[in-house]
A and B are shown apart, each in its own frame.
Chain A
């Protein structure tokens, strides 16, 4: 297989899989799970081949229909696109996890729809990260957003519909902003290809370019749920079925950040504007996000609500890293995009397993569950240790690199904010661990609960193992992403 056909395949395979799910899944979605798993395995193989390719040769492109840029549609695979590997891995594990979970939580008639939407959502994300065309980017963003709204609402409960509606309104506004910005850039440059826009933007009028930048940033930051644009996130992520929460919190919000990296690639290269004031705003908002997310999380009783607020803190880390615009900061932010996906998926899937087995979702109701579900709670604890940034787990790399990045950028105070902001996050994870292990159960029957079934336990344990391994083997993702960040900052000229 040539790299080009692989690039096309990573979009077409899951898309075709999604379209065919209602057909192959059969009545009441009997075979939908088997089919969706098969599709994701195939997609994962393609993703692995692509990542291998980029590691060997560096970035490469595919031109649809043989039309070179700027005339045709370009699919571009660079180091940032390697997030396809994480998307596929999490997608696969979430789908495996869904087998029992969805069958219990959802009406049977909706099972087929559920897997279709999941595959569509994953297609949207895969397309989003591999496209080189700004309008395509928008289209894929819409695919993943629309399927996301539907997935939040899929249980059909009243609260779920409300949360989905809130998510939809915010999401639609952000899409509109992005679309308007794309229109502006098209008017300015006459092109929709990102690399081409970057070239042509040089020397163009400052004000429209600045407007487009502001719109793109705002749009993507709504998607990423950066404070104060986060209001849609907690409800949507907490109320969705747990595998969907894992995907939404681990991956979907990250598309906003990956979109932001694409924006940086355009604007750093174009050198049309000085981005330092934007970066200052982002660093501050990142710092505020860390603290506010942690602050709200402390007061949550619902375990999934707590995890949802924790995502806001972590988005704060990443945005801060991007805004610092130093080598270490951006490497840390990028690697945390991947690592946080693994960690948050561990936590959400683990929480899902607890809810599935016990029927409780409040921390106080879950007291004592550590005794009856030792493996799941151990995995969640590993996730918790990792997300607060304990060495040598995956979460530590982000703290280390972004703090270094803050010093490198000459703003050590943000390093201090980062490290001490993490302490707040500790507070509520300690509460969680306390209630699992060290407090007497409120509901004695929780001690009789059985450990989660294998299709749920295995994904959680695999992810927890990755949380540890990605910390010890941090060199691999770090050295993988380094050339891309050097290139990005090289275009900045610094």
Chain B
């Protein structure tokens, strides 16, 4: 492997500045020019993808980028640092955001308070990119808290009593999680001083006291676990997803929940480091929780009738895979976990975009009303079917790639019994998703579907269908072309390789 070299660059701050420009510089002044607003915001998101992608070739060839921004306290800088893991997360987020933004143009047509929606949607992207590229714990915390808190307006956007209740639940869970993270970071800072996130961890050492380290570790995991929806900290997820507008549900599930898993990765790989965690012997507890999450959430998903709720439980289950992959402390398993964040983002994004189309164009929110919908909405149903197959882990789609590496990792670390969890989760995914596809194609139309008027023209405006198709294409490409350099798998391998060097 090539030795990494650190390059000081002015590009990383652009990643979080651009969306702020969109939120503060475009949205307030285009209230009466919706077309201009859409064009400008889309342009910003495209630029964002370019910025995020621009790091990839460099990172793959062994460069990492850093920027010192401002000095927050006499000892701590606000500091950005793009490494392989961050580059992958940033790229995933920016691409999914672009897809969801374009989808919003169609979905949010005629909704209220659009200015607020777009402003906070762009801001959420900004904070996510900050999380991806944060180079030390305090910078991470700043963006993490901002993006926990300032997505509240998006979750309660519809202002219905259910949305408000879901928002309250969300904010309570997230704040408690955030407080735990803050405490953990305070302790880490006290023990280690201001250190940047290191490639192989090593901020902390066993000499600091095992009890303290274990406490800090669980503080971190519990804090991030709330966002990563580790059972039993997952309570906000099933309520928040149905309440939020569909495009935001897509990024909420695809990227924001994953940000919790990303936080756990940062803690495991870059704060503690693999070697120290092996000595502390805490990770097997994480894998127990993760394995339980995979199965438990999948079982709950089976009985949900509300489609978005069912998908939300599926997210919890899938994030369990990621935590499981981290917890096994093996290079292959870590590769699987990291790449699953990217793969899951587009699979789940596609599924939520389908759910949004069903709500918007057919008025259907429940699984039981979906029978026969394929006749009326063929593109949506086909997209749903492909994403479902990927979610189950059918080769050659993207979900298969991550599960393959997770499975290899389980064998690699000599814990093959986790394969039962892996396969059980996949089986349950088939149980809770495939019947939907089956009913949509082969069952006689339900009353709700029968009542739909014959549409003239396409099944939905292009601004909703094109992003959906883009997401599905990504699901396929990330599977078939997974070994091409520059694809998530190459970055995930690099990131895992560095962490386990």
Which A residues contact B (CB, under 8 angstroms)?
Answer: 385, 390-392, 397, 399-401, 403-404, 407-408, 412, 415-416, 419-420, 422-423, 426, 430, 434, 437-440, 471-475, 478-479, 482
Contact = CB atoms under 8 A, between A and B. Distances in A.
A269 B190 CA distance: 28
A407 B190 contact: yes
B115 to A, nearest CB: 10
Interface of B: 70-74, 78, 116, 138, 141-142, 145-146, 149, 153, 156, 159, 164, 167-168, 171, 175-176, 179, 182-183, 186-187, 189-190
B69 to A, nearest CB: 9
Nearest to A401: B73
Given A385-B149, A415-B186, A423-B176, A430 B171 contact: yes
A415 B183 contact: yes
B159 to A, nearest CB: 5
Contact of A400 (B153, B156, B168, B186): B186
B72 A434 contact: no
Interface centre among A392, A401, A434, by most chain B C-beta atoms within 10 angstroms, is A392
Contacts of A415: 183, 186
Contact of A407 (B146, B175, B182, B187): B187
B442 to A, nearest CB: 43
Given A391-B141, A439-B159, A423 B187 contact: no
Given A391-B146, A419-B183, A423-B176, A479 B74 contact: yes
Contacts of B72: 392, 471-472, 474-475
Contact of B182 (A401, A419, A438, A475): A419
Contacts of B179: 419-420, 422-423
A415 B182 CA distance: 10
Given A390-B149, A391-B142, A479-B74, A403 B171 contact: no
Contacts of A430: 168, 171
B73 A472 contact: no
A391 B131 CA distance: 13
B164 A390 contact: no
12 contacts: A385-B149, A390-B146, A391-B138, A391-B142, A404-B186, A404-B189, A408-B190, A420-B176, A423-B175, A438-B164, A475-B72, A475-B73
A472 B138 CA distance: 12
Nearest to B219: A416
Contacts of B156: 434, 438
Nearest to B171: A430
A403 B186 contact: yes
A428 to B, nearest CB: 12
Given A399-B182, A423-B176, 19 more contacts: A385-B149, A391-B146, A403-B182, A403-B183, A403-B186, A407-B186, A407-B190, A419-B182, A419-B183, A420-B179, A434-B156, A434-B164, A437-B153, A438-B156, A440-B159, A472-B72, A474-B73, A475-B72, A479-B74
Closest 6 CB pairs of A and B: A391-B142, A475-B71, A479-B74, A407-B190, A403-B186, A419-B179
Contacts of B176: 420, 423
B116 to A, nearest CB: 8
Contacts of A403: 182-183, 186
B74 A482 contact: yes
B73 A438 contact: no
B35 to A, nearest CB: 23
Nearest to B187: A407
A478 to B, nearest CB: 5
B175 A475 contact: no
Contacts of B138: 391, 400
A419 B182 CA distance: 8
A253 to B, nearest CB: 26
A426 B175 CA distance: 9
Contacts of A392: 72, 78, 142
B350 to A, nearest CB: 30
B377 to A, nearest CB: 32
Contacts of B73: 397, 400-401, 474-475, 478
A391 B183 contact: no
A212 to B, nearest CB: 36
A437 B78 CA distance: 31
Contacts of A426: 171, 175
Contacts of A408: 190
B213 to A, nearest CB: 14
Contacts of A478: 73-74
Contacts of A399: 182
A180 to B, nearest CB: 41
Given A391-B142, A392-B78, A482-B74, A416 B183 contact: yes
B70 A473 contact: yes
Nearest to A391: B142
A267 B462 CA distance: 75
Contacts of B153: 437-438
B190 to A, nearest CB: 4
Nearest to B116: A437
A8 B78 CA distance: 41
A444 B186 CA distance: 46
B163 to A, nearest CB: 9
A391 B186 CA distance: 13
A419 B159 CA distance: 29
A393 to B, nearest CB: 10
Contacts of A390: 145-146, 149
Contacts of A385: 149
Contacts of B149: 385, 390
B121 to A, nearest CB: 16
Q: Which of B145, B149, B182 has the most CB of A within 10 A?
A: B182
B155 to A, nearest CB: 10
Highest count of chain A CB atoms <10 Å: which of B73, B142, B164? B73
A419 B78 CA distance: 22
A328 to B, nearest CB: 9
B159 A391 contact: no
A415 B70 CA distance: 26
B272 to A, nearest CB: 18
Contacts of B189: 404
A447 B499 CA distance: 56
Nearest to A370: B116
Contacts of B164: 434, 438-439
Contacts of A474: 72-73
B193 to A, nearest CB: 11
A411 to B, nearest CB: 12
A263 B141 CA distance: 36
Contacts of B183: 403, 415-416, 419
B159 A438 contact: yes
Nearest to A482: B74
A385 B146 CA distance: 10
A479 B73 CA distance: 8
Nearest to A472: B70
B381 to A, nearest CB: 35
Nearest to A400: B186
A247 to B, nearest CB: 29
A147 B120 CA distance: 45
A399 B186 CA distance: 10
B192 to A, nearest CB: 12
Contacts of A482: 74
A401 B76 CA distance: 12
A390 B142 CA distance: 8
A474 B74 CA distance: 8
Contacts of A416: 183
Nearest to A434: B164
Nearest to B215: A412
Nearest to A422: B179
A391 B145 contact: yes
Q: Which of A400, A439, A472 has the most CB of B within 10 A?
A: A400
Nearest to A426: B175
A404 B189 CA distance: 8
Contacts of B159: 438-440
Question: Which of A401, A419, A438, A479: most chain B CB closer than 10 A?
Answer: A438
A416 B216 CA distance: 12
